[in-house]
Amino acid sequence: MTYTRLSLAALLAAGLLAAPASADVKWTFGGINPPGAPVTQASKRFAELVTERTEGRVQVDFYEGSQLGSGPAQIEAMAVGAQEGYISSGSNASNLVTEFGVVDIPFVFEDQDHFLAFMESDLAAGLQQRLRDEFNVRILATNWFRLPRVFLTKESCVESPEDIAGKRARSPNLPMFVAGWEAIGTVPVTIAYGETYMALSQGVADMAESAGEQVFSSKFYEVLPYVTDAQMMYPQNSVYVAESAFQQLSDEDKAIVTQAAEDAGDYFVSLVEEQTAPNRATMEAEGVTFCEMSAETRAAFAAKVADSVPAFEEEGLLPEGWWDQIQAMK
């Protein structure tokens, strides 16, 4: 897929970046998660906060459940100015800036603090700058922290890499995610998020992964009732906005919108904390089995990924030297 690079200079020349508007503006934001998911609830809160705090100068209409298309389609639409915003996985930006896929490398981060050290690093800041300058996409907030990614399987929990060797694993259409599944021995099958439940029900894939809080709202557990706390990745959601739309706001409204994105992120985290225990109890009552993954098993998976680093670099998915820099952030 080819994406148009839209520098700020080009946008100005095309008239897409104008002086701050005095008239009210309406933004179209999209997501891919179902109505009850915490990220959907928090996205709606973001829309409400923006409209309320700007006294209607900026109105956000949020469309849930892939109504505006798949994640890759929505972020591409933002890049060309056809959609103002998108709220979903922080790694979706890798469809535009490939190196954002580093957060999709399985077992690269030792724990949440290690992941946060990367997110606060100059490496991550440089990626955000490229996203704005080359693709017209600004990241407003990254503090929508999700629970670590788990494995979902059909017949038993995952106790070793051999347990999933050769299994068909559902994957989003993100290059690093696909490469990561291959690195740990599975056969990735790219399936759009909104089509995953049906695909799993039909046996198109044997297993899947999910951010921990999303297992319940996605209902994947109805098809894959074994949930292994693999801590495969430490995901977060990002609030993306088209730079051309953002630059049309007054400085006051830019600050309001940015703060609303951060506040909605805090709300998202609180929802996850509140819902985790009762949702797990409900799933256990319906026959779901939850398993921990040992440190030794995680280390075995991490070793397989480390062996694939030269291939990641050769394919242009990971800049040379980044692996060592990220490991030094522990």
C-alpha span between 217 and 275 (Å, rounded): 11
Q: Could you tell me where the DSSP H helices lie in the chain?
A: 8-14, 38-53, 71-79, 112-119, 122-135, 175-183, 196-201, 214-218, 243-246, 251-285, 295-307, 309-314, 322-327
- Please report the pLDDT score of residue 321 as a whole number: 96
- Please report the pLDDT score of residue 72 as a whole number: 87
CATH number, domain 8-146+236-277: 3.40.190.170
> What residue spans define the domains of the chain?
8-146+236-277, 149-233+279-312
- Please report the pLDDT score of residue 23 as a whole number: 52
For the stretch 275-299, pLDDT in tens is: 999 999 999 999 999 999 999 999 9
Backbone phi, psi, residue 198, to 5°: -65, -40
C-alpha span between 101 and 166 (Å, rounded): 23
Below-50 pLDDT ranges, the chain: 1-22
C-alpha span between 186 and 34 (Å, rounded): 27
- Do 8-146+236-277 and 149-233+279-312 agree at the fold level? yes
Classify domain 149-233+279-312 at the CATH superfamily level.
Bacterial extracellular solute-binding protein, family 7 (3.40.190.170)
For the stretch 62-111, pLDDT in tens is: 999 999 998 889 999 998 889 999 999 998 899 899 999 999 999 999 99
- Please report the pLDDT score of residue 6 as a whole number: 47
Write down the pTM of the prediction: 0.87
